[in-house]
């Protein structure tokens, strides 16, 4: 049965460090929810607090209506998958998956049925009698998933489950996790520092920094509408341009920068005189031989070009101090070379004015 998981002002300290610092948010029933952030931001600690391996110093975690403070880990009915799989090497695949049911004293016939179903879901039936140390990394991760699913957990917890796999297998397992989540519909909390994993799988993502949650939203929301420069930079590539707001009105925000005036769509949270850091994604930049009318367009010099087939990545200098990265899709036969004078253009709707996160927060 899927349940919601709620954090209410949860703090977990290690000595003077607040690894999780007063966070409040709710994970809905059946969500594939991501905790995303750089190393040390507190995401594993948050996950382990849900599992009950750590006790919150302050605040409370609820599964549905139930407060979990006094519930020990083995009574929380969570299934956990670790980065290093943590399979028992001397056991077969079948025995690894069966183990959790032995501990729960599940009758033999039901045990057989449930192990069979779990191995089916992860497509490992044919390896049931294989020793777990004779499996590839991807296969071991499938068994680890089956072992977590077989106990029919209320919440599935995944701690960097794909980071030990090579890039191709990671892509494949990503799709597998999406499929399995779709099939079983469990509330799943997935910890990673890999923004691609989060963008491609999540129903919602919480971006963490220094023990706090800086933004929660659907992948498209946090990519297109980041709340501050930290989120914009962490979720994908972007260019930053410092400026000061000149005017805000008539559907337009006009920002003065060292390369000239930049127009953005109007924003309620900025007023004339405010400092703004403009975030402009590389895929929003267009490169041409002539200036574009009625949009943001600046003269620039190509300083680097990398052809990658489906995409060409340019480094362009708009001035001695300001350079930007531009990704041109389907580059075809148009070539720009270092030293070429060009124009760089981007639409007002692709410029996101931001503030830097409060360093003292």
How far, in Å, CA of 34 to CA of 41, rounded? 14
Closer residue to ligand ATP, CB minimum distance, 31 or 160: 160
Closer residue to ligand ATP, CB minimum distance, 106 or 162: 162
Helix (H) or strand (E) holding 299: strand 296-307
Stretch that binds ligand ATP, among 41-49, 101-109, 130-138, 336-344 (CB under 6 A): 41-49
**Residue 204 found at the interface with ligand ATP (CB under 6 A):** no
**Residue 147 found at the interface with ligand ATP (CB under 6 A):** no
Judged by CB under 6 A, how many residues of this single chain contact ligand ATP?
Answer: 12
Closer residue to ligand ATP, CB minimum distance, 40 or 357: 40
**Residue 39 found at the interface with ligand ATP (CB under 6 A):** yes
**Residue 14 found at the interface with ligand ATP (CB under 6 A):** yes
Stretch that binds ligand ATP, among 33-41, 66-74, 87-95, 295-303 (CB under 6 A): 33-41
Structural contact between residues 124 and 47, judged by C-beta atoms closer than 8 angstroms: no
Closer residue to ligand ATP, CB minimum distance, 94 or 234: 234
Task: Name the minimum Å distance from CB 212 to ligand ATP.
Answer: 12
Q: Single out the residue of 4, 8, 11, 17 in contact with ligand ATP (rule: CB under 6 A).
A: 17
How far, in Å, CA of 324 to CA of 317, rounded? 6
Q: Considering only CA atoms, which of 206, 214, 149, 207 is closest in space to residue 176?
A: 149
How far, in Å, CA of 25 to CA of 155, rounded? 16
**Residue 37 found at the interface with ligand ATP (CB under 6 A):** yes
Task: Name the minimum Å distance from CB 163 to ligand ATP.
Answer: 9
Could you tell me the CA-to-CA distances from 307 to 284, 302, 328 in Å, in that order? 18, 13, 10
Tell me 38's DSSP state. S
Closer residue to ligand ATP, CB minimum distance, 41 or 97: 41
Task: Name the minimum Å distance from CB 153 to ligand ATP.
Answer: 21
**Residue 217 found at the interface with ligand ATP (CB under 6 A):** no
The H-assigned helical ranges of the chain are: 43-51, 93-103, 108-121, 137-149, 167-184, 195-201, 219-224, 229-234
Task: Name the minimum Å distance from CB 192 to ligand ATP.
Answer: 8
Closer residue to ligand ATP, CB minimum distance, 14 or 88: 14
Task: Name the minimum Å distance from CB 258 to ligand ATP.
Answer: 36
CA 53, distance to chain mean position in Å, is 23
Q: Single out the residue of 22, 30, 40, 59 in contact with ligand ATP (rule: CB under 6 A).
A: 40
How are beta strands 204-209 and 32-36 bridged, if at all? parallel
Tell me 28's DSSP state. P
Q: Single out the residue of 5, 36, 43, 207 in contact with ligand ATP (rule: CB under 6 A).
A: 43
Task: Name the minimum Å distance from CB 155 to ligand ATP.
Answer: 18
How far, in Å, CA of 354 to CA of 167, rounded? 33
Q: Single out the residue of 10, 31, 42, 173 in contact with ligand ATP (rule: CB under 6 A).
A: 42
Q: Single out the residue of 3, 19, 180, 198 in contact with ligand ATP (rule: CB under 6 A).
A: 19
Sequential DSSP letters for 235-296: SS--EEEEEEEEEEETTEEEEEETTEEEEEE--TT--TT-EEEEEE-GGG-EEESSPPTTSE
Closer residue to ligand ATP, CB minimum distance, 19 or 264: 19
How are beta strands 296-307 and 286-288 bridged, if at all? unpaired
Residue 61: strand, helix, or coil: strand
**Residue 41 found at the interface with ligand ATP (CB under 6 A):** yes
**Residue 193 found at the interface with ligand ATP (CB under 6 A):** yes
Tell me 70's DSSP state. T
The footprint of ligand ATP (CB under 6 A) covers 14, 17, 19, 37, 39-45, 193
């Amino acid at each position: 049965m899927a349940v919601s998981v709620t954090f209410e002002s949860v703090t977990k300290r290690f000595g003077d460090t607040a690894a999780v610092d007063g966070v409040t948010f709710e994970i809905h029933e059946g969500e594939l929810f991501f905790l995303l952030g750089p190393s040390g931001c507190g995401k594993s600690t948050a996950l382990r607090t849900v599992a009950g391996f750590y006790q919150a110093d302050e605040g409370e975690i609820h599964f549905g209506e139930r407060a979990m403070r006094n519930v020990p880990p083995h009574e929380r009915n969570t299934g956990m998958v670790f980065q290093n799989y943590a399979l028992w090497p001397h056991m077969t695949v079948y025995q690894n998956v069966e183990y959790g049911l032995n501990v729960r004293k599940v009758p033999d016939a039901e045990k057989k049925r449930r192990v069979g179903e779990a191995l089916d879901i992860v497509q490992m039936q044919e390896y049931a009698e294989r020793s777990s140390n004779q499996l590839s990394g991807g296969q071991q991760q499938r068994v680890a998933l089956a072992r977590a699913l077989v106990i029919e957990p209320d919440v599935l917890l995944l701690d960097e489950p794909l980071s030990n796999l090579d890039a191709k297998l990671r892509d494949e397992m990503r799709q597998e996790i999406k499929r399995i989540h779709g099939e079983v519909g469990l509330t799943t909390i997935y910890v990673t520092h890999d923004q691609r994993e989060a963008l491609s799988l999540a129903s919602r993502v919480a971006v963490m920094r220094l023990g706090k949650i800086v933004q929660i939203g659907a992948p498209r929301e946090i990519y297109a509408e980041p709340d501050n420069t930290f989120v914009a930079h962490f979720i994908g590539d972007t260019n930053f341009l410092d400026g000061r707001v000149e005017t805000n009105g008539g559907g337009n925000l006009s920002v003065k920068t060292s390369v000239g005036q930049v127009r953005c769509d109007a924003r309620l949270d900025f007023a004339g005189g405010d400092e703004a850091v403009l975030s402009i994604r590389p895929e929003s930049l267009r490169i041409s031989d002539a200036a574009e009318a009625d949009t943001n367009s600046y003269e620039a010099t190509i300083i680097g070009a990398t052809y990658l087939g489906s995409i060409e990545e340019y480094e362009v200098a708009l001035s001695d101090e300001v350079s930007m990265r531009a990704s041109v899709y389907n580059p075809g036969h148009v070539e720009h070379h270092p030293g070429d004078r060009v124009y760089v253009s981007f639409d007002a709707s692709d410029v996101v004015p931001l503030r830097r996160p409060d360093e003292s927060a």
